[in-house]
Amino acid sequence: MAKADFQVPELKEYAEIPEIKPGVMAHSKPFKSKPDFQEALGFPGELVEDWQKKAINKMGDLLGRYRSLRVYMDACVKCGACTDKCHYYLGTHDPKNMPVARQDLLRKVYRRYFTLAGRLFPDLVGATDLTEDVLGDWYNYYHQCSQCRRCSVFCPYGIDTAEISMAAREIMDSIGVGQKYCNEIIGKVYKIGNNLGLPGPALADTLEGLEEDVFDETGVEVKYPLDQEGVDILLITPSADFFAEPHVDGLIGYGKVFHEAGVSWTLSSYASEAANFGMFIGSYDNMRRVSMRIREAAIKLGVKRIVFGECGHAWRVAYSFLNTLVGPWDFLDPRYPVPQHICEFTYDLIQQGKLRLDKSRNDDMVLTYHDSCNVARASRMGDKPGGQFDIPRAIIRASCNHFYDMDEETIRDRTFCCGGGGGLLTDDLMEVRVKGAQPRVEALNHVIQEKGVTHMAAICAICKSQFTKVLPYYGMDMGQIVSVHQLVSNALILTGQETEEEEAVEAAA
């Protein structure tokens, strides 16, 4: 594990609202995007000459296009309800990480150029010019927001800081100031098909390995097909599912579930990514271009359904935007949701009694569940309100004997972000990631102490990677974060699979 060159927050018995420490995170900023990465996305390579004017024009363009943004700029009454709701404020103590202060970084410039009072009497209404310092603050503090929308749950006006932070990043990209992590990755999706840059042959090799592993483990030939035409289901999953742990254990689980359901399915090497970082940078054009690959793959492969794997923000894009982005999906089978979440798929099978789950196979773990922000606050699952909270929990309960929820204040729609969402899952932001994880890890620590919880399950690739990295900073083990479908995979007894007990009985006979 990397040694921390910053103070790792202490986990307390009760959540505390910290005293402010102004400027304590002013130094934190991600690496800037190189000209190559910028241009591949249709942005200027570096800071343009008349950047102030262009940035203001872009802000005007966004205000005209998104009525919501103008409302968010105008509506805040400084009531303070949001101030102690952001995990980055709670973890860093920097007052600019209070949602209202983060919004004000954009709002003060909005007032200066787009309101009468701000144009005439800037000092009276907290309006300021767009200076180099302000731009610097934008870059640093809009990259200390994971766009998790927890603050908006508590705002009496419903002001959505995520949308403000997306707008700020879009304005910065438009003048040539981009973030390396997000923009390099989006370029890889265009060039290769996924965030990791896994080419088709590497995918095929990885999937072949999984088939061998599952066969060795179960004696059943479960397939993990790639680019197969004419099948029922196209699975769109984060590329981390191919590459990292514990993600891959989830992917193994999806394959087993499809196998038991008796449906034909495939992955696509062209659309081998569920993630859509176009949303993180607030760029409609890039979000659409990334999504378009899914449509193209679905048409080319001739599938009838699309199912999404465990990826938080991908599910927001899929559930909330996919139809308007790249629809209509009239070529898919209308009897199924477009798209469907793998948790919905598995839950349906459990309801129908089609999965034989032996919960005792997860008895080495006591579980809790981390609601991922984009699933919790920006989407839904199933056909009932709150399905996005209840369905993953129902799957865990069907697969495990021991499950306890964390404190109510920190789950469901009030869930704390993992600290690495919104395009912050990069090593150059490790300090803000570790500190931002504190509220979540504190709640986890509680159920570890009180209930003997050993593992936390999640349905988001970013959450899984983030916890793998940050838990060790808090003295916990990287293996304590697991995939929900990893639990299903452990518990699921495949048709034709000989269990150890049955083998023992046969051997005795």
Residues in contact with another protein by CB under 8 A are 1-2, 31, 180-181, 184-185, 188, 194-199, 201-202, 205-206, 209-210, 213, 238-240, 242-245, 247-248, 275, 311, 425, 427-428, 461-462, 464-465
Measured from the CB atom, the residue of 107 and 469 that comes closer to another protein is 469
- Beta carbons within 10 angstroms of residue 384's beta carbon: 9
- Residue 103 or 466: the one with the smaller Cβ distance to another protein is 466
Task: For the CB of residue 182, give the shortest distance to another protein in the complex, in Å.
Answer: 10
CB 214 within 8 A of CB 256: yes
Give the nearer residue to another protein in terms of CB position, either 201 or 496: 201
Following CA atoms 48, 54, 58, 59 in sequence, which dihedral angle do they give, to the nearest 10 degrees?
120
CB of 380 to another protein, least distance (A): 22
As measured in angstroms, the least distance from the Cβ of 196 to another protein is: 4
User: Shortest distance, CB of residue 390 to another protein, whole angstroms?
Assistant: 25
* Least distance to another protein, CB of residue 166, Å: 18
Shortest Å distance, C-beta 39 to another protein: 18
Peptide bond into 246 cis (omega under 30): yes
Please tell me the distance from the alpha carbon of residue 437 to that of residue 463, in angstroms, as a whole number. 10
Distances (CA, A) of 194 to 73, 247, 356, 410, 449: 35, 15, 34, 32, 39
Give whichever of 85 and 188 is closer to another protein, judged by the CB atom.
Answer: 188
Nearer of residues 8 and 202 to another protein, judged by Cβ: 202
- Omega within 30 of 0 (cis) for the link into 328: yes
Amino acid 3 reads K
CA–CA separation, 463 and 311 (whole Å)? 9
- Select 240 or 381, whichever has its Cβ closest to another protein: 240
List, edge to edge, every strand of the sheet that includes 481-483: 367-369, 455-458, 481-483
Closer to another protein by CB, 291 or 466: give it: 466
Minimum separation from the CB atom of position 389 to another protein (A): 22
- 455-458 and 367-369 beta bridge pairing: parallel
Q: How far is the CB of 462 from another protein (least distance, A)?
A: 5
DSSP-H helix ranges across 76-160: 87-92, 99-114, 116-120, 132-141, 150-154
- Nearer residue to another protein within complex by CB, 35 or 328: 35
Could you tell me where the DSSP H helices lie in 219-335?
240-243, 247-261, 284-301, 312-316, 322-326
Give percent helix, percent strand, percent coil of the chain, each to the nearest 5: 55, 5, 40
Pick 76 or 202: Cβ nearer another protein:
202
CB of 101 to another protein, least distance (A): 28
> Whole-angstrom Cα distance, residue 325 to residue 322?
5
Q: Give me the numbers of helices (H) and strands (E) for the chain, helices first please.
A: 24, 7
Residue 196 or 261: the one with the smaller Cβ distance to another protein is: 196
DSSP assignment string, 365-395: --EEE---HHHHHH---TTSTTHHHHHHHHH
Three-state DSSP at 405 gives: coil
Whichever of 110 and 224 has its CB closer to another protein, that residue is 224
Element (DSSP H or E) covering residue 489: helix 484-491
Q: Which amino acid is at 32?
A: K
The helix (run of H) or strand (run of E) holding residue 501 is helix 500-508
Q: How far is the CB of 469 from another protein (least distance, A)?
A: 8
Contact 209, 176 (CB under 8 A): no
What is the smallest separation between the CB atom of 145 and another protein, expressed in angstroms?
A: 18
Q: How far is the CB of 342 from another protein (least distance, A)?
A: 16
**Between 168 and 430, whose beta carbon lies closer to another protein?**
430
Report the alpha-carbon distance of residue 206 to residue 33 in Å, rounded.
30
